Amino acid sequence: ARAQAMEVDESPDVTYDEIGGLEDQMQEVREAVEQPLENPEQFEQVGIEPPSGVLLHGPPGTGKTMLAKAVANQTDATFIKMAGSELVQKFIGEGAKLVRDLFELASQREPAIVFIDEIDAVASKRTDSKTSGDAEVQRTMMQLLSEMDGFEDRGDIRIMAATNRFDMLDRAILRPGRFDRLIEVPEPDEEARHKILDIHTRNMGVADDVDFDKLAAETEGKSGADIESLTTEAGMFAIRDERTEVRQSDFEDALEKMDENDEETGIVTK
Ligand code: ATP
């Protein structure tokens, strides 16, 4: 049913080497998600349970979805994504049913990585739990937690979630046996921005005058997603000028355009 609310990717093509920076985060994801899928006996021998759920938190566009897709790629797992906002439904019981469908699908396609983006949509601290809408959201969250509880019997399914509103999360979902591994995915620093610029210009014609050190410094406050748009925009400037190589001036023009857009929309690029 309702499979259209889910994004199913049998073999996501994102690899770890396409992720700039985030070395520690990659290491943690591999330990918490990849190891239990590939060497479950290691956990048995040591006598510990692998983390039940991994929560990635940090600003938008910093690579959280990429990390989840890369681990699915590495483990040959099906990637099943659902947005938390999709789980907030009008009719009673519909959100909970979607959660059941999600895990049902995962068990048909294991090994699988279930990735719930914007988990805050169903797991926020309640300001007023008396309204019926909130009660319904609460029920959906309870269904999610109960599916996670039934996990050990489920075999090769790992669950990941992401949020950029960590502060708003209901702490109940972070208890042991739930999302018990937290990984912070920060805005990229200068070194990470340099790597992200390198990654997104790998397949571009780049002129000799392009100064990636300077661009890394100038993109302070920009996310990985912003840097990706920047390289595309710089390429557009080159095309407009009928060139096949992107120059430093194209990047500078693209940066200027981006900042102007941010001013107009009042949205600060983060
Ligand atoms: P959101 O919270 O908005 O869902 P996210 O953290 O999940 O964002 P992604 O969807 O992983 O962000 O990133 C969006 C795009 O931005 C990626 O497809 C990629 O092109 C680029 N990007 C983001 N972070 C990085 C990174 N660390 N290295 C390389 N590219 C990145």
The CB-side HSE value for 214 (13 A sphere, CA atoms) comes to: 8
Residue 22, ligand 1, Cβ within 6 A: yes
Q: What is the pLDDT of residues 178-227, one digit of tens each?
A: 999 999 999 999 999 999 999 999 999 999 999 999 999 999 999 999 99
Average pLDDT over the chain reads 90
Number of residues that this document lists for the chain? 270
CA of 133 to the centre of ligand 1 (A): 31
How far apart are the C-alpha atoms of 66 and 63, rounded to whole Å? Answer: 5
Q: Which pairing describes strands 78-83 and 6-9: parallel, antiparallel, or unpaired?
A: antiparallel
| pLDDT value for 268 | 56
What 3-state class would DSSP assign to 200? helix
Strand extents, DSSP E, the chain: 6-9, 53-57, 78-83, 112-117, 157-163, 181-184
Residue 63, ligand 1, Cβ within 6 A: yes
| pLDDT value for 6 | 86
How far apart are the C-alpha atoms of 73 and 7, rounded to whole Å? Answer: 15
| pLDDT value for 5 | 79
Q: Which of 19, 29, 56, 66 to mutate to test the pocket of ligand 1 (most atoms within 8 A of CB)?
A: 66
Residue 228, ligand 1, Cβ within 6 A: yes
Residue 1's pLDDT band, with cuts at 50, 70 and 90, is very low
CA of 223 to the centre of ligand 1 (A): 8
Sheet holding 53-57, edge to edge: 6-9, 78-83, 112-117, 157-163, 53-57, 181-184
Q: What is the amino acid identity at position 243?
A: R
CA of 122 to the centre of ligand 1 (A): 22
| pLDDT value for 148 | 86
| pLDDT value for 150 | 74
| pLDDT value for 270 | 46
Pick from 142, 69, 45: which is nearest to 99 by CA?
142
Q: What is the pLDDT of residues 237-252, one digit of tens each?
A: 999 999 999 999 999 9
Nearest CA to ligand 1 atom 12: 61
Pick from 105, 5, 129, 118: which is nearest to 57 by CA?
118
Residue 21, ligand 1, Cβ within 6 A: yes
Q: Kindly provide the b/e burial profile for residues 183-208, where b requires at least 16 CB atoms within 10 angstroms of the residue's own CB.
A: bebebbeeebbbbbbebbbeeeebee
| pLDDT value for 87 | 87
Residue 25, ligand 1, Cβ within 6 A: no
Q: What is the pLDDT of residues 112-168, one digit of tens each?
A: 999 999 999 988 886 555 555 578 888 899 899 888 887 665 668 999 999 999 999
CA of 152 to the centre of ligand 1 (A): 31
Residue 247, ligand 1, Cβ within 6 A: no
Residue 98's pLDDT band, with cuts at 50, 70 and 90, is very high
The structure's pTM equals 0.91
How far apart are the C-alpha atoms of 36 and 30, rounded to whole Å? Answer: 9
| pLDDT value for 131 | 53
CA of 261 to the centre of ligand 1 (A): 20
Residue 263's pLDDT band, with cuts at 50, 70 and 90, is confident
| pLDDT value for 222 | 97
Pick from 46, 42, 72: which is nearest to 158 by CA?
72
**Is pLDDT larger for residue 40 or for residue 164?**
164
Q: What is the pLDDT of residues 3-36, one digit of tens each?
A: 567 899 988 999 999 999 999 999 999 999 999 8
CA of 222 to the centre of ligand 1 (A): 11
